[in-house]
Structure 1
Amino acid sequence: MNKKALSIIFLVIGGLALLPYPFMMIGNIMQIAGSRSGDESAMLIFVVFSFVIVSSLYLITYLVCLILAIVKRKRGILLISTIPLFHLLLLFALLLVWFLIE
């Protein structure tokens, strides 16, 4: 499989992650607007807000990588197309840490 086909597959997988994005943003806004009970640990607050920020920025990451992949066409397209997947891995790692802390 050549690099161009593999990068297209990576971008499609990253694009599929945008399907639940509107619902995730609604949850993020509710998370920010909600009040805390006051007995949360500082680590939990840090992980939750990190998750909210990283998940909110995914659309920007994906669009920038998609535009760069279209513009560059041949040079570095495989590396650019894997950035959204690494962003998703970071997001899932933060979600796992959130579940483990809580």
Structure 2
Amino acid sequence: SPSNVLMSFKADDQLSIYLKHNDFSQEHELLKDIKIGNTLFKKGELPSNFDSVVKVYFESVLGVAFSNQAMLDGMETFFSERSYNPVIEYMERATE
């Protein structure tokens, strides 16, 4: 279910910390290089294979297979809860 996907993202040490939604660029991003399973992802915009790698990772680590729709809905909810705007953050720091 989407809620199980959401909980899986929140429970993972790397995914819960380093994944964000950039409100300025409207892209999902990694804030740091991370390794998921045997795949290294570089900091920045998520590559097109990210969903597939995470899906296989969850299945191998958690023993749970999620449907494509559950994965999509859970990920979108996760990112909606973790959005930031680097331009606004920069401007706020500049005025301090």
| TM score, norm. by length of structure 2 | 0.25
Q: Which has the higher helix share?
A: 1
Higher radius of gyration, 1 or 2: 1
Normalising by structure 1, report the TM-score.
0.24
Higher relative contact order (CA closer than 8 Å, sequence separation 6+): 1
Structure 1 or 2: more strand by fraction: 2
